[in-house]
């Protein structure tokens, strides 16, 4: 670009800046002696002005300017335009002013011209909202005069709309119900001094039977009660089942430990009863110190020791122990101890070693089973996360079609 052309563009840019400033000053800053009004219906405008000469220094004044008012001729023209359109809006789907059966629409404000509309009605057949009360109007209809007062704030005029209101169109069934309600209303007026309203037994030669509709909705309540009772029973059985499974699990978990302790004490030369008592006393001490929680196997051993202290035969006490635990390994242990009481300890150690090996193997299987169940439970949140990810991918793709 040569120098002359560049200078021309610079001058043009400077001139455009001054022109834009002048336009802005003329519309916003430099008001001169006039402030522009908003059109009628748009509300007043507040201008912030810097006034020189009002005070010693410059004064900032907030000047409210009302919206432009219509002249009398303008108001009359606008009122006429509104009245040309207003009856059709008021009728709200009724065929004509000579046949009105449905509610009317009585607007209170005409947005286009900013004109307020006040309605005057008889209040008996047409209320201030336009709702009709025409249920008791005779079939030939009734003449009603509806008056609208239009105002722009300075000028006001009124217009009248003559309407013929008819009762609502009803089917034969609706008419029959209407006649029945009228009869009930008549009976209600006659029985105002009584505590109850006696309903008629017949109407137009047909017998009547009454029932409150709400009662039918409660027919399912007895079945809900029965269902709740069944669910309570099922829940209780499930709770007992879970408690038994938990107890059996704890019994099987403690079984190898009990066998090991018995084998140690018996190997030290203690009798079965002395070994039993030693295990129970240590359990009670650890329980008091809070190092362990209550364990069903040790609790049953504690009861067995209490029975033996009450002079229950030792063999019977061991049998009751195995029966109370309810699991095959404990019944086998009770059998070993009873056999030891009759035949001596010569084979008990070997039997205990074999049983310990089987018990520890069973405990490993139990731990493996627990791990598998935990892995299965972990799959649920993983599948949920997978579903969320698939939804995040598929939803945008589906929405793009």
User: Following DSSP, what letter does each residue of 89-148 receive, concatenated?
Assistant: HHHTT-SBTTBB-S-----SEETTTTEEEEEE--SSSB-TT--B--TTS-TT-EEEEEEE
Using pLDDT thresholds of 50, 70 and 90, give the confidence band for residue 353.
Answer: low
The predicted pLDDT at position 165 comes to 87
Using pLDDT thresholds of 50, 70 and 90, give the confidence band for residue 357.
Answer: low
Is the same domain home to 368 and 254?
yes
Is 334 inside any structural domain? yes
Is the same domain home to 109 and 162?
yes
Of the candidates 127, 149, 172, which is a domain's last residue? 172
Is the same domain home to 47 and 115?
no
Is the same domain home to 262 and 324?
yes
Is 51 inside any structural domain? yes
The predicted pLDDT at position 312 comes to 86
Is the same domain home to 57 and 168?
no
245 vs 16, more confident: 245
Is the same domain home to 365 and 274?
yes
Residue with tokens 């009728």: 91
Is 393 inside any structural domain? no
Is 193 inside any structural domain? no
Distances (CA, A) of 95 to 85, 122, 308, 356: 15, 22, 104, 100
The predicted pLDDT at position 218 comes to 59
Q: How large is the average pLDDT for residues 314-327?
A: 86
Residue 134 is part of a domain; what is its CATH number?
Answer: 2.60.40
The CA-based angle 357-361-367, given to 5 degrees, is 145
What rounded mean pLDDT belongs to the chain?
A: 79
Return the biggest CA–CA distance within the chain: 132
Is the same domain home to 49 and 82?
no
Is 209 inside any structural domain? no
- pLDDT, tens digit, 9 for 90 and up, residues 251-279: 888 887 887 787 777 777 788 888 888 98
What is the percent of the chain with per-residue pLDDT over 90, rounded to a whole number? 0
28 vs 60, more confident: 60
- Quick one: which of 121, 105, 117 has its CA closest to 150? 117
The predicted pLDDT at position 349 comes to 63
Please, is 140 exposed, middle or buried when counting C-beta atoms within 10 Å of its C-beta (0-12, 13-18, 19+)? exposed
Of the candidates 172, 199, 228, which is a domain's last residue? 172
The predicted pLDDT at position 225 comes to 72
Is the same domain home to 78 and 64?
no
Q: How large is the average pLDDT for residues 286-310?
A: 88
Is 159 inside any structural domain? yes
Is the same domain home to 142 and 87?
yes
The predicted pLDDT at position 52 comes to 72
Highest mean pLDDT among 4-13, 17-26, 103-112, 187-196: 103-112
The predicted pLDDT at position 62 comes to 77
Model-level pTM? 0.41
Query: How many structural domains comprise the chain?
Result: 3
- pLDDT, tens digit, 9 for 90 and up, residues 46-69: 777 777 767 777 777 777 877 777
- pLDDT, tens digit, 9 for 90 and up, residues 372-393: 666 677 777 787 888 888 888 8
- pLDDT, tens digit, 9 for 90 and up, residues 230-248: 777 888 888 888 888 888 8
Is 58 inside any structural domain? yes
- In whole angstroms, give the CA distance from residue 138 to residue 122: 17
Using pLDDT thresholds of 50, 70 and 90, give the confidence band for residue 355.
Answer: low
Is 206 inside any structural domain? no
**Which helix (H) or strand (E) segment is 50 a member of?**
strand 45-51
Is the same domain home to 251 and 366?
yes
Is the same domain home to 135 and 56?
no
Query: Domain residues for 364?
Result: 242-374
Is the same domain home to 161 and 276?
no
Of the candidates 172, 201, 221, which is a domain's last residue? 172
Residue 269: left (phi > 0), alpha (psi -120 to 50), or beta?
Answer: left
The predicted pLDDT at position 351 comes to 64
3-state SS class at 228 = helix
75 vs 169, more confident: 75
The predicted pLDDT at position 398 comes to 76
């Amino acid at each position: 670009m040569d120098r002359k052309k560049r200078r021309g563009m610079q001058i043009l840019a400077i001139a455009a800046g001054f022109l834009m400033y002048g336009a802005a000053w003329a519309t916003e800053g430099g008001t001169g002696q006039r402030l522009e009004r908003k059109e009628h219906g748009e509300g007043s405008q507040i201008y912030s002005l810097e006034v020189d000469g009002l005070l010693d220094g410059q004064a900032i004044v907030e000047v409210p300017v009302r919206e432009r008012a219509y002249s009398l001729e303008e108001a009359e023209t606008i009122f006429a335009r509104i009245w040309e359109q207003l009856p059709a809006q008021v009728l709200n789907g009724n065929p004509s002013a000579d046949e009105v059966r449905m509610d009317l629409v009585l607007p209170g404000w005409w947005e286009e011209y900013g004109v307020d509309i006040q309605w005057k009605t008889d209040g008996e057949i047409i209320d201030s909202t336009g709702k009709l009360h025409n249920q008791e109007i005779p079939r030939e209809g009734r003449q009603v005069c509806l008056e609208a007062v239009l105002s722009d704030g300075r000028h006001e005029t009124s217009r009248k709309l003559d309407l013929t209101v008819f009762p609502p169109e009803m089917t034969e069934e609706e008419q029959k119900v209407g006649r029945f309600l009228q009869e009930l209303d008549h009976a209600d007026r006659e029985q105002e001094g009584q505590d109850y309203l006696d309903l008629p037994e017949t109407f137009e030669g047909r017998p009547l039977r009454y029932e409150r509709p709400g009662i039918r909705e409660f027919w399912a309540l007895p079945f809900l009660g029965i269902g709740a009772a069944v669910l309570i029973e099922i829940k209780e059985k499930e709770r007992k089942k879970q408690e038994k499974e938990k107890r059996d699990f704890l019994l099987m978990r403690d079984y190898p430990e009990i066998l090991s302790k018995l084998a140690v004490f018996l190997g030290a030369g203690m009798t079965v009863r002395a070994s039993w008592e030693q295990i129970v006393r240590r359990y009670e001490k650890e329980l008091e110190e809070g190092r362990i929680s209550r364990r069903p196997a040790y609790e049953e051993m504690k009861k067995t020791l209490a029975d033996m202290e009450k002079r229950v035969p030792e063999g019977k006490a061991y049998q009751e122990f195995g029966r109370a635990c309810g699991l095959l390994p404990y019944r086998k242990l009770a059998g070993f101890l009873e056999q030891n009481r009759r035949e001596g300890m010569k084979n008990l150690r070997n039997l205990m070693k074999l049983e310990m090996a089987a018990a520890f193997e069973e405990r490993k299987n139990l731990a493996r089973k627990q791990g598998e169940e935990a892995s299965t439970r972990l799959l649920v949140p993983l599948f949920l996360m997978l579903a969320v990810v698939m939804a995040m991918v598929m939803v945008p793709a589906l929405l793009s079609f």
